[in-house]
Amino acid sequence: MQTIQADVVIVGAGVIGASIARELSRYHLNVVMVEKEADVCGGGSTKANTGIVHAGFDAQPGTLKAKFNVLGVEFFEQMCAELDVALKMNGTLVVATAKDKMEHLEILLERGKENGVPNLEIIGPKRLLEMEPHINPRAAGALYAPGAGIVCPYGLTIALAENAVENGTRVFLSQKVTDIVVREGQVQQVITPGLKINTSFVVNAAGLQADEIARMVGQDDFYIVPRRGEYYLFDKRFGTLANHPLFPVPTEVSKGILVTPTVDGNLLIGPNAQNIEDKDDTSTTVDGLDEVLRGALDTMPDLPLREWIINFAGLRTVAMPGNDFILGPIPSVKGFINAAGIQSPGLTAAPAIAEFIRDTLREEGLEFKPNPAFNPLRRGIPQFQNMSPQERKEAIAEDPAYGQIVCRCETVTEAEIVRAIHSPIPATTIDAIKRRTRAGMGRCQAGFCTPRIMAILNRELGIPQEEITKKGGSSRYVLGHTKDLFLKKRG
């Protein structure tokens, strides 16, 4: 067990932890971020969500969700440009698929105005059809929010965390926080299986497990309910069926089932909303997927139903009681700061929450001096798929591994995979490489490229193939050499 010192320990490397880490790296501080999974955003809500940068009309006025949504969206264009993250501010549409739903659009419009969302307008069926030729022809109109967009949630989180690391933050993966030591009402130490971290400040950004982290310091006034949302992802050939994220009118518990393009060019439909008990249960269900299809078909009746390539589910972090973000210090323990209960629009709110946590730490007594070496710019891995023929030629001339295609569906080269493995937060699992390069995200869903990526991981890091995992822990692909296993079985 290693003992280290930190000014601040951030628990959890989802989009909230990573945003806070990057914000704090602007200052001369010793910051440590610990994550229980084998990669940043390897667990929790950030790795599987809809990726909408919300305008801010949905949340009830006066809530933290509404406040930080509207503040957060303002950061996105500059932040994504600095971090080399794809962002498309294409606006969103809430579609009334029948006349009697139009009055709900008025409610959302008024709510949006109260929240301070600019440029909202209700558009009629003719303009809607021009903007969205595949929309339900019975649609009566839509609420148009031009100040919204789409982003890749894990791409953004990796970029935030990498930029934090480049500016001095230390990230420890596969380190589950098991205890927080408090003495005389003051945070003293964070404990993981491999680390004792002496610190006076802990930021609880542990997503679904934020209530369990709070219990470690004696706070038991909230609990987290996992609310599952299931999706269908369609082939990239159908990414242009929708030009904007298309919402139905919302329900009591969610914004409803969307049809949306992703920033990487796929078409995505979902999510439904079902409260469950198990915080790790990301299975999809027949009933849930049926609900998603029915919802999406109401918005876009000519969806190409045979062309989806994968189903998946994400878990929302619903904090009860209150159903709102839980942000700030607690009176009983000095140095313990919550960034908890961050359900949607948490991805959008993340940069504003990060600034709020920075200010809270300052108010709680942490000394802030600027980090003179802070560099806000981070470069992603150049993607062969997006290069012009001339750029491809130059890339191959500079690094011949750019000439070796590993993932055929997404045209990902060996050079990109090697760069992901040696990136600021090294990708050591198949999923970590997938999130950084898109290898395995295409039509064949990694059937072709997985063995080749395993061979590259083996070569670059010396990890035996039997020990290579999908996402850490026991998620191994192979048990050993077939012949050895056969002989062993025969005795």
Ligand X SMILES: Cc1cc2nc3c(=O)[nH]c(=O)nc-3n(C[C@H](O)[C@H](O)[C@H](O)COP(=O)(O)OP(=O)(O)OC[C@H]3O[C@@H](n4cnc5c(N)ncnc54)[C@H](O)[C@@H]3O)c2cc1C
Which residues contact ligand X by CB under 6 A? 11-17, 34-37, 41-46, 49-52, 54, 176-177, 205-209, 213, 229, 271, 314-317, 342-348
Nearest to 300, CA basis, from 332, 327, 271, 267? 267
- Chain centroid, CA 29 distance in Å: 25
Q: How many angstroms separate the Cα of 109 from the Cα of each of 64, 143, 222?
A: 19, 7, 32
Angle subtended at Cα 326 by Cα 324 and Cα 330, rounded to the nearest 5 degrees: 150
Cis peptide bond upstream of 389, omega within 30: no
Nearest to 412, CA basis, from 420, 421, 404? 404
Quote the least distance from Cβ 404 to ligand X, whole Å: 32
28 is catalytic: no
How far is the C-alpha of 275 from the C-alpha of 9, rounded, in Å? 31
How far is the C-alpha of 276 from the C-alpha of 378, rounded, in Å? 38
Structure tokens at 82: 């600095």
Residue 155 or 413: which CB sits closer to ligand X?
Answer: 155
Residue 15 or 409: which CB sits closer to ligand X?
Answer: 15
Cβ atoms 416, 437 nearer than 8 A = yes
Residue 46 or 423: which CB sits closer to ligand X?
Answer: 46
Nearest to 265, CA basis, from 245, 237, 244, 293? 237
How far is the C-alpha of 265 from the C-alpha of 236, rounded, in Å? 6
Residue 343 or 450: which CB sits closer to ligand X?
Answer: 343
How far is the C-alpha of 304 from the C-alpha of 285, rounded, in Å? 20
Quote the least distance from Cβ 55 to ligand X, whole Å: 11
Nearest to 353, CA basis, from 137, 75, 118? 75
Quote the least distance from Cβ 153 to ligand X, whole Å: 6
Structure tokens at 38: 């084998």
Single out the catalytic residue among 54, 104, 134, 244. Answer: 54
| Amino acid symbol at 338 | N
Quote the least distance from Cβ 229 to ligand X, whole Å: 3
Quote the least distance from Cβ 385 to ligand X, whole Å: 24
Quote the least distance from Cβ 18 to ligand X, whole Å: 7
Residue 83 or 206: which CB sits closer to ligand X?
Answer: 206
Quote the least distance from Cβ 184 to ligand X, whole Å: 24
Active site residues: 54
